[in-house]
Each structure stands twice: as C-alpha cells, then as structure tokens.
Chain A
Amino acid sequence: AQSVSQHNHHVILSEAASLELGCNYSYGGTVNLFWYVQYPGQHLQLLLKYFSGDPLVKGIKGFEAEFIKSKFSFNLRKPSVQWSDTAEYFCAVNTGGATNKLIFGTGTLLAVQP
C-alpha cells in the first residue's frame, strides 16, 4: 500500500532560521505531490504541488520543494521563516487518475519563535 512519511512531527525554530521538512513516499510509479498548510484556525490550503517538469517547485509565501525521484522524496524548504509561518504542514501524494485520491502524511507542527 502507498504511504507517506513525514519524519519531523514537531519543529521549533527562531525567526530567520532556515526550514526543511522531510517527506518520503512509497510508490514506484508516477506520482503527483503536494504540500498543504493549515494555519491556526484556518482551512487547509495548498502551499505548492508537483506533477511534471522542473523538479524544483515554488509555492506561496516563499516556500519551495524539490522532487527527487531516486529518493522518493519531496522536501519542503524556506530560507528564512517568519512567526507567521507557524502552522501544521502536510505532505500528500496521489498516483493520478480521475478519482484524485490523496494519501497524507501525519503532519509536521512548526512553531516559529519571534
């Protein structure tokens, strides 16, 4: 069965620190990859996605992620975090097709201290 692993469950950073959140998936075929973010009290929303082309994708609010097929990874990065980045981050994968069924990781709770 397909699965998604997020290795960091809880991350605490100071403002201006760099961020990298790990995401690995288990599926040998073509995948579409997503990072979603849930700010406190808000809807889950898309941060960025990859489905083809340049493996380095840029999203909202200065986030980017790199798809490394050989490592089955899609790590999220931001060079300098802000207090407003405090949120829960979810990596998700689908294997394409009409049903668009996503498999989510367990999430990483990021707390940025001012």
Chain B
Amino acid sequence: DVKVTQSSRYLVKRTGEKVFLECVQDMDHENMFWYRQDPGLGLRLIYFSYDVKMKEKGDIPEGYSVSREKKERFSLILESASTNQTSMYLCASSLRDGIYEQYFGPGTRLTVT
C-alpha cells in the first residue's frame, strides 16, 4: 500500500514564525504536491515537484516555498506565518503520468494565532 505521511496532524504557530511541514512517501513516486483545503474552496495547489530539486508554482504560491532534496520527501515552508494561512494542508504523491491517481496524506491542520 502506498503511504504518504505528514509530520504533524495539528500545529499551532504564532504570526511571523517560520513553519516547516514535512511530507514523506514510500512508493518511489516522481511527483509530489502540496495543497491547502479550505471549506467551500476545495483543494488548491500551492506547489508541486516532479523530480528532486525541481519545483513549480501552483495556483496559490504566495507566502510559501518548498524544498525537495530527496525523492521521498517534500517540505512546505511558510517563511513568516500569517493568520490567513490557517488551513488544512494536504500532501500528495503520484507516478509521472496523468492517468495515475494521487495518493494523499492525512493532512496537517495549521492554526496561526
């Protein structure tokens, strides 16, 4: 079974803090993704990566950066957390073709106070 794990289920941070969200997958997938999920807005893509050290901006990259130093690990970084970044963050991974599904982690609910 594919497994995507995220470092924390719940996280509370203060405004201005630097926040790291970690994601690890164990199926040797080339593609990895970070989304945020907000009620009524569905899932919106923040960044994705199609190979080690490669990344592309998604639909809402402002205020975020990412790092992919190893194939299995994809990190999302909030350089200076703000209250409007309070959300559920989902990581996903997939094989390198559009016919393949994405596999999702359990999510990290981040609250910025």
Residues of A within 8 A of B (CB): 6, 9, 32, 34, 36, 42-46, 49, 51-52, 90, 92, 94-102, 104-107
Contacts and interface: CB of A to CB of B under 8 A. Distances in A.
Nearest to B96: A98
A71 to B, nearest CB: 21
B19 interface: no
Dominant secondary structure of chain A at its interface with chain B: loop
A105 B107 CA distance: 18
Given A90-B42, A100-B94, A107-B42, A43 B102 contact: no
Interface stretch (B10-18, B43-51, B62-70, B71-79): B43-51
Contacts of B102: 100, 102
Given A97-B97, A106-B41, 7 more contacts: A32-B98, A98-B98, A99-B96, A100-B102, A102-B45, A104-B35, A104-B44
B40 A46 contact: no
Given A101-B45, A105-B42, A106-B42, A95 B106 contact: no
A6 B102 CA distance: 20
B104 A104 contact: no
B5 to A, nearest CB: 11
Nearest to B49: A99
Interface in B26-68: 30-31, 33, 35, 40-45, 48, 50, 56, 58
A104 B96 CA distance: 18
A37 to B, nearest CB: 11
A99 B31 contact: yes
Contacts of B40: 9, 106-107
Central interface residue in B4, B56, B95, B97, by most chain A CB within 10 Å: B97
A97 B31 CA distance: 12
